[in-house]
Structure formats: structure tokens, C-alpha cells
Amino acid sequence: MRKKEKNMKSAIFTFAGREFADPGLENEYLRLSSHERNALLRKNLVTAIWITLIFCITDFFSFKTAVFFEAALFRLILAFICMSGLLIMKYFQNPRQLQNLLFLFSFLYTTISAIMFHYIPYPTYSFIITGMLIVMALSIFLSQRFSLCIASSVYTSFAFLLPLIIYNNASIHFISEAVTYLLAANVFGWVTFRELNKNKRVHFLTHKKEQESIANLQSEIVHRKNLEKKLKDQVSRDYLTGLYNRRFFYETIPVEISRSRRGKMPLSLIMFDMDHFKIINDTFGHLRGDEALKKVAKAVLRNLRAEDVFARVGGEEFAILCPNLDIKKAALLAERIRKNIENIRLSFKSGLAASFGIIDIKKNENVDKIMHLVDRAMYSAKKAGRNCTYEISMDGKVRKVL
């Protein structure tokens, strides 16, 4: 297992810099982490400015006036370099361009620091300590590009060693110690750089995989919900017209009765059956009959509210459950729908007709009784000559809607 993980990491990261081997993944990491990385760089630059200026205080107590002003001038130049880096960060958003520019600023900072320590009579040990601190700081400051980190730390080491060898006439023993200290600082910086980069990118990969898992899970949830809705529609919808089917309609009636009872609202039911529809099927064929049923469904839907439940409960038989609609308004609605059906124009026939039955549903009534009564009203309309509307009360009294 460990060998497998090790092989996976070696495939993901480059050996030296602990950058992603895939350039696309590396660019994505740099782009997404740019805000956090720039915030850290700004903090580092501000810290460098304060440290540089604070040392002016120690210089004031350590040197004479002329030397102090020379040292202060150098430190102000160093602080100005850091402030220039802050300004540059506002105008360069590309991560690699920004790292290259910051490398140039670190090169200038190191060069000015080395020159300052050459001209200002600082103790030799502070010369080496400063070089070590700059080398280690660069491993964090340039923590995105291994090549820049190596180049800047090696340059810093030579920039602080060469003046010590050439101008200060230091002993071989001191120079060997300085080389050892600077080498240790470089090794520490490189190791820190590699581990810092690896940990950041491992965290990025982990977060990326978590986000992908969440996205996949959300996609799966949406897919399942759509599938559930599709299956529910298949169970509750009529395949031809897209209306609710008989089963769904019969299950909805008790729910709406309970709701109307709680809200003390009226509830009406309209049922209609197409007149002489068998003649259409026998004369023009079932495909033409299906076309007529679809046209009827569309024509009726245009007259209904969002809360109305419209279903195909038989071959050419339809029913409409109308919450919060009393019998008088239901009668007006039924008549309006009947006239709209009369005006339907088909490619093979002009005009259709339907017989309507309506009922005012009272509370706690049995569904089968309700459907039996409204069916009686509808067939009363057929017996009366078709293409008309009859209403029926819960006690079975039938009358024509005028």
C-alpha cells in the first residue's frame, strides 16, 4: 500500500521542486491559490520593511553620525525595494510573471544588502547571520518556483561570501565556518521549500478531490431526483395527452376533500365525455382519434387554473377537480370548456362535442359515491341530447345547467 502511494506521489510531483508534473494541474493550482499566496507575500514584504527600518535604531547606537546616515540610506533603499514589490503585486496577476519579478526584487535586495555590509563596518558574524536569514527567507518568499529559489539562495550565498574572502581578509577557518553555515541555511531552505510545496499541493489535491466528489454527489442527487420525477410522472401521467391518469386522480380526491374541509373551502368536480367519439375512431382511424384527444386536452388546459387537477380517466372521458370553486362557478367553467371544444378545428373534421356532469363535493363523502353521482349527471346530459351540462347534488337530484 505504501509503495503504491509512493509511486502515485512520484507520478504527481516533479522530483526536485515538488511541483505538479502535469502543467495544466500546476497552472490550475497557481491560479486558484493566487489569492492566498499573494496575501502571504504581502505580509512577508511588510514584515521585511519593518525589520529593515527597525535596524536603523540599532545602527543609530552602533555608529557615528556619518556612518549611521550611510547605513540608513542603504536601509531606506532596501525598504523602497520591498515597497516596490508591494506595488508590483497590484498590477501583475499572472502567478509566474509575478514570481519572476519578485525574483528580480530579491536579487536587488540581496545585492544592496551585500554592498551595505561591505561599506558599513558591521561585525563579521552579523554579515554571515544576515546572509543565512536571507537565504532561509527566500525559501518562503519564492515558495512557488524551485528554480528561482535555488538561483536566489545560491546567489545570496556567493554575494555574502565573496566580499568576505576578497575584501575582509578573513581567515581560512572563519571562511570554512561561513561556508558551512550558509550551506546549512541553503539545505534548510531547500528542504523547507520542497516540503512546503508538497504539503500545499497535497492539500490542494485533497480539496480538489473533495470538491469533485461533492459535485459528483450533487449531480447524482439531481439525476436521481429527475429520474424519480420521471418515474412518478410515468406512474401518474397519461401517456397520450400528458394529463394525470385515473389512478392519480382517484388518489387526489381524498387529499383535496381533506384540504377543503380544513380550509372551509368549496370543492367541485367536473366530468365530461366526448360525444360520438367511436365514430371518429371507426371512420378516420385511432391515430386521428388520438390527435383529437390531444387537441381537447390542450383546449381545456387553457381554461384551468394552476391548482385545478385535470385527468384523463377513461378512453375519451376526462375529469377536473376544482379546489376553492363552488358549483355555480364550476358550471360556468364547464360551459366555457364545452364551447371551446365545439370550436376545435381538426384537419379531418370540423367541430367536436362533449357531455358534462358537475357536482359540489360535500365533506367526508366516499370517492366511489362522488364518481358515481357525477357519472350519472354526465350520462343525463347524453340522454338529453348530448353537448350540454348537467349538475347533480349529493342526494342525487339532477338538473340541466342553463
- Per-residue model confidence (pLDDT) at position 144: 58
Alpha-carbon distance of 126 to 293, in angstroms, equals: 97
Alpha-carbon distance of 273 to 270, in angstroms, equals: 10
Burial (CB < 10 A; 0-12, 13-18, 19+), residue 368, is exposed
CA-wise closest residue to 358 among 246, 300, 271, 252: 271
Q: Do residues 298 and 346 touch, judged by C-beta distance below 8 A?
A: no
Burial (CB < 10 A; 0-12, 13-18, 19+), residue 164, is buried
- At residue 173, the 3 state secondary structure works out as helix
DSSP codes joined into one string, 323-347: ET--HHHHHHHHHHHHHHHHT-B-S
Alpha-carbon distance of 146 to 200, in angstroms, equals: 14
- Per-residue model confidence (pLDDT) at position 7: 45
Alpha-carbon distance of 187 to 175, in angstroms, equals: 18
- Per-residue model confidence (pLDDT) at position 386: 94
DSSP codes joined into one string, 285-320: -HHHHHHHHHHHHHHHHTT--TT-EEEE-SSSEEEE
Identify the bridge partners of residue 267 per DSSP, sorted by sequence position: 323
Span 36-45, pLDDT tens digits: 777 777 887 7
- Per-residue model confidence (pLDDT) at position 321: 96
71-91 b/e with 16+ CB inside 10 Å = b? bbebbebbbebbeebeebbee
Q: Do residues 326 and 247 touch, judged by C-beta distance below 8 A?
A: no
Class of domain 246-400: alpha beta
Q: Do residues 308 and 267 touch, judged by C-beta distance below 8 A?
A: no
CA gyration radius, the chain: 43
Distant-in-sequence, close-in-space partners of 377: CB < 8 Å, separation ≥ 6: 271, 356, 357, 358, 359, 390, 391, 392, 398
Alpha-carbon distance of 369 to 366, in angstroms, equals: 5
* Start and end residues for every CATH 3.30.70.270 domain found in the chain: 246-400
**Count of H helices and E strands in the chain?**
13, 6
Per-residue pLDDT of the chain (402 residues; tens, 9 = 90+): 444 444 444 445 554 555 677 777 777 777 777 777 777 778 877 887 887 888 788 778 777 777 888 888 888 888 888 888 878 777 776 666 676 777 777 778 778 877 777 677 777 677 677 778 777 777 766 655 666 677 777 877 777 777 777 766 667 877 788 888 888 888 887 777 777 777 877 888 888 888 888 999 998 899 888 888 777 777 889 989 999 999 999 999 999 999 998 888 999 999 999 999 999 998 999 999 999 999 999 999 999 999 999 999 999 999 999 999 999 999 999 999 999 999 998 888 777 999 999 999 976 678 889 999 999 999 999 999 999 999 999 888 999 987
* Cell digits of residue 50: 519593518
Span 109-154, pLDDT tens digits: 778 877 777 677 777 677 677 778 777 777 766 655 666 677 777 8
